[in-house]
Each structure stands twice: as structure tokens, then as C-alpha cells.
Amino acid sequence: MTNPLLQHWETPFELPPFDQISDDDFSPAMEEALARHRAEIGTIADGIDEPTFANTIEALEAAGETLSQVLGVFFNVAGADSNPAREALQREFSPKLAAHYAEISGNKTLFARVAALWDQKDSLDLTDEQARVLMLTHRGFVRAGAALEGADETRMKEIKNRLAVLGTEFTQNLLADERDWFMDLGEGDLAGLPQFVVEAARAAGEEKGAGGPVITLSRSLIVPFLQFSTRRDLREIAFRAWTARGANGGETDNREIAAEILKLREERANLLGYDTFADYKLETEMAKTPTAVRDLLMQVWAPAKSQAEADAWVLEQLMREDGVNGPLEPWDWRFYAEKRRKQLHDLDEAELKPYLQLDKMIEAAFSCSERLFGLSFAPLDVPLYHPDCRAWEVKRNGEHVAVFIGDYFARGSKRSGAWCSAIRAQAKHPKVQAPIVVNVCNFAKGDPALLSYDDARTLFHEFGHALHQMLSDVTYESVSGTSVARDFVELPSQLYEHWLDVPEVLQTYAVHAETGAPMPGQLLDKVLAAATFDMGFQTIEYVASALVDLAFHEGPAAADPMARQAEVLEEIGMPSAITMRHATPHFAHVFAGDGYSSGYYSYMWSEVMDADAFEAFEEAGGAFDKDKARALEEHILSTGGSRDAAELYMSFRGRMPGVEALLKGRGLAA
């Protein structure tokens, strides 16, 4: 029987035929795809003609189509709908892929062709995008170790293979801890919980086969439990389990894995001539240096800490009123912050949530993109990888633009968090291909599914990434969509969050789940007034994580990362009632792969730009100003990584931003 992963898909929009693909197809498809790619690379490297941009760089861009097709499907389903077979395949594929790409980057004949073109670059008559692709290709080879020889070259391959294995182990250990822990709730354990939390807990209990409501380690369930449960003892149990992910001892413990990853990263950077891994990693980002990152984070840390300490004092007084003595603990913060929010803004999450229906928030995200960029969305009835998924065809002016897939609900088979990925990225060479883009979230199920305001913000955030993929208009896939500097990639996503806060958007789409009535003006005013509530807490938990990540990578590798984490938190004066958003054993951004390693600061670097960019809309004709939307698409959303990130921002805004707009947006300005 033919393997569907290796065929050209004669399906609507060339979507993967998910109903024909089984787990047994992945391994043989991977072997064949690797073999095909290896042969294509060999043909390019061993070509007898003098290297040209077409026969070398464009040929590299065109190579690996089958492999991209297989990986596009596999890694989407492995992350969003895992099972023991897929986990085993991930463990099998990770070292194979690392070895495969190390073999390519270590191909001296191929590198010689790329280097020859780089030396002649000024005489090749390239377009700006071609010049950029040549630079990135050459730089990628050098940074991968193509210029290394002998023992150093061998060691680099060993390091890459081992890091691939460790990243997969880290991810799977975290998934196992999140999947396996849950806390049964008896009737007496539901005290203080609004109906939407009880319903979500019952739905989670059904999925676990528990026979009653449970609390799991899904953020969309545990956070509201910590906000509302009057049972301080249960809040403590749940919080400790949540923050112990990856640090429970036994087979799923990630602490030694993190230590080995840090050591190997340092060695990798040293082999390439860098003092530290942070120096190596940040060279290609907008920030460029660890010093620039630290300067930004500390400019935000000081006012955030001051705000958080003032807030903590108030929350302790609320605790005393409840007859609770002793210090404010991390499992108390969200509970008393929710009480305080109700006092200050007369805003109750339980009152707000019925107005934030998942389907309506999806409509809102779509509508904003229609008003800004002229996009329309029509539901598709096609096979997808899980019954929870839905798909839409995206059009503009009647022309097909992309397929968008939304996978919104939490389940045990899905890793935590939210992300955007592309099963297929936009490109025009070697053939025109429209993107297939996926947003994955972890919202609690319900009938209807209701979101917190934070959930709704996450939905808009991930859809901002999706727009970056869908509106991409470049020639080469290597610079398509979100293939940009890590500290620039969050700009479109964080910028899009601002449209959730636009009053007319909420007035239209925030309608009551039972009555259909729009959110009352008084409640809407309270929501917007409370937008920066508890921002000291939110900023502290994020910046602490970013500073720990930076510290891990800007000096000698810590033999004991947990001890180094504790040192950093003591140095910066971490408030005792707040924990890092991502402690080391479950810091998947940093340890599941190299993506955000030494780069977790990126969200804040991008936020400096997104706050400034939205101000550009407000200074013009408002949130839906057509000229600004056109400029945003022209200079940022359509260009991918075809130009330098700072150049792209300058061409949109005319200048680089300062931190002031960010502090103002977070309510932390003096």
C-alpha cells in the first residue's frame, strides 16, 4: 500500500489526508524522505558546474520538499495529540534529524560552493531578498560548524545529536507530569468555585475517567481554581503540583537534563569561538548582546517590583481580614488579587466570563483581520488530526490565501501552552504554495466554551502569529512568515492583542452566552479600566524567568541549575509570594529546544515595539486606520525575514522605540 505521507496530496488545498495517515506510516516515510533529501543535497554539492545562486542556493531552497511534508504533519500531531507511539517516534526521530542536518552543515563540498558565492556576492546581481537568503545560508553554515575540522567537527555532531535527544526527553517528561497528575474534588471541595470552573473540572474529570470533577495541571483550569477556591489547603496542593512539574524525582525529573543541556550549549558555543552561549545566540537577534537584554529587563524590573511589593502589602491585609496569619504565599496571591479586583473595579471573573465565548472571540479575531487586511474566513469540512480541530479557508478579494486550522481545547494528549505552527509555509520558489497555518491553545471545554480575559488575549496573540504566516509574500520559504529574529517574531502576535481591548470589538463580540445581550457599557468600562490590574505580579513572574534564562547562558554552565536559579532570584530580590512563570524543570521554552534559549526576553523586546506600533495606529485614524494597516502589512507582515528586523521596524515607524510606551501600557510608568 502506498504511504500517504510520500504522495502528492490531491485533496482540497493540498491538505494532509489525515484520515488516511496512521502512526505506522511515519517511520518509513521519514526514512524515505531523509534518503530523498540526502540525494538532493548530494546532487547540489557534487555538481560539476561553477556554483551559481540558482544551482546552489535556490537548489537548497527547493530540496527537502518530501521531508518538509512529513515533518509538517508529524510534529503538529506529536505536539497537539500525542500518544505512546508518537512519543516513541519523537525519541527515534530527534537524533536522526539532528544527525541529518549536521551531515548537511558539515558537508565541506557544499559549504565550499556557498562560501564561493558569498565571496562573489557583490558581483552576482541579486535581488535584496536573494542577497538576504545568501547571507542567512552562509551564516547558518558557519554557525552550525561547517568551518570546523577534525575532532572539533566530530564533537559538534555529537553535541547536536545529544541535545536533540535531551530536548525530546525534557518535553516528554513534562507532558507525562502534566498528564498524570490530577486532584479529585468532592462536593465540599468546590467551595468558592464559580459554575464555569465547576463545569470545566467536571469535563476534565470525564476525560480522566475520574467519576467526578478534578483539577488538572492545565493552566486554563488551575489558574481559575487558584483564583476562586476558598480552600487554602487545596490551593496549596494544586499550586505545589503545578510548580513541581519536571521536578518530582524518578524517570520524569528534568533537573539533570537541564544541567546537561546547559553544559553542552556552552561547549557548542566555545567550539565556534564564542565566550558564552548567550554571545553565540544573541549575535543574530535584534538585541545582539547579553548586556542589551539585561539593560531592558532591569529597566522594567525596578518599577514592576515596586508595584508588586505595594500590591503584596494590600493582599496581606485582605488575608488578615479572613483571619489568616503568616506571610502571603504564592498559592494565596491569585485568590486575594481576585478579591481585590472585585473591590477596586467591581469586576468579577465569574460575571465577565459568560461574555467571552470561544466562538465569538474567534469571530472577533477574524473580523479585525477582515477590517484591517481584507481577509475572509469560510468553514471547511475536511479531515483533521483530532475531532476538536476546525478549519477555515482564508480568502482576499475572492483569491485563496491560506487554510487556517484552530485546535483550541485542553486534553491530556496535548502539551501545555499555546502556539502557532505551519504545516506548510508560504513560498513562490520552486513553486507557489499557500500556507496551512495551525493555532493550538489549551482552553477549558464547556457548552458553550467560555474564556477568561487572559484566554481571549492568548487567542488574539496566536492569531497574530497566524497572520504573520498567512500574509507572508516572499519568494523563498527560508525567509517566509515567522522565519525572523526571535526577538522580532513576537511583534505581530503581541501587537494583535491590542485589538481585543478596542471597545467596539468587545461591544460587538462580547455577548452573553445565555441571553445574547452585549456586554453592558458599565462592565466594559470596568474591563478596560482593569486592563493593567495586577501587572506588577505578571511582570515580575515573566522578567524573573527571562533573567534566569539569561544568567544560565551568559556565564559558565551551572552544574546545579536549581542552585543557580535560586542565586539569581536572590540577587534581584524576587518577592517571596511570586514565583517564576516557568521554573527551570518545566521551562520548555528554554529546554525543549534552542528556540527561546537565551531568548525568553524576546516577548518583552517585542512588547517595546508592539506598544509603540499600536500608538502609531492611535496617532493616525484609530485602531482600524487603513493606511497604517497597509503599512503594517507592507513593512512587517508580508516581508517575513527577507530584510533585517530593525530595518523593517524603522520602515514602518520611522524610528526605533524606547521602553516608555511599554511601561505606560503596563501601568508601570512613574
State the helix-helix crossing angle for 535-553 and 255-271, rounded to 10 degrees.
Answer: 50
* Residue 192 backbone zone (phi > 0: left; psi -120 to 50: alpha; other: beta): left
Q: Report how many helices (DSSP H) and strands (DSSP E) the chain contains, helices first.
A: 27, 7
Domain ranges (residues) in the chain = 4-175, 181-245, 354-529+603-665
CATH number of 4-175: 1.10.1370.40
The answer regarding whether domain 354-529+603-665 maps to CATH 1.10.1370.40 reads: yes
- Measure the CA–CA gap between 101 and 56, rounded to whole angstroms: 17
Quick check: 440 and 80 in contact, CB under 8 A? yes
Q: How far is CA 655 from the centre of its chain?
A: 27
Let me know if 235 is exposed, middle or buried by CB neighbors in 10 A (0-12, 13-18, 19+). buried
- What is the pLDDT, as a whole number, of residue 349? 85
> Which amino acid makes up residue 292?
A
pTM of the model: 0.93
- What is the pLDDT, as a whole number, of residue 669? 86
Instruction: Tell me whether the omega of the peptide bond preceding residue 28 falls within 30 degrees of 0, making it cis.
Output: no
DSSP state of 634: I
- What is the pLDDT, as a whole number, of residue 348? 86
Laid out side by side, the sheet with 375-380 consists of 375-380, 390-396, 399-409, 436-443, 419-424
Grid cell listed for 325? 496569619
Grid cell listed for 81? 495529540
Q: Do domains 4-175 and 354-529+603-665 have the same CATH topology?
A: yes
State the helix-helix crossing angle for 23-45 and 108-119, rounded to 10 degrees.
Answer: 60
In the predicted model, residues of the chain with pLDDT beneath 70 are 670
* Nearby residues of 246 by Cβ (< 8 Å), 6 or more positions away: 170, 173, 174, 177, 252, 253, 254, 255, 584, 585, 586
Residues involved in catalysis: 462
Question: Which residues pair with residue 420 across a beta bridge?
Answer: 439
Quick check: 177 and 218 in contact, CB under 8 A? no
| DSSP string over 206-264 | HHHT-SS-EEES-HHHHHHHHHH---HHHHHHHHHHHHTTT-SSGGG--HHHHHHHHHH
- What is the pLDDT, as a whole number, of residue 1? 74
- What is the pLDDT, as a whole number, of residue 437? 98
Distances (CA, A) of 280 to 266, 274, 290, 495, 577: 9, 6, 10, 28, 35
What does the angle CA 424 – CA 426 – CA 427 come to, to the nearest 5 degrees? 115
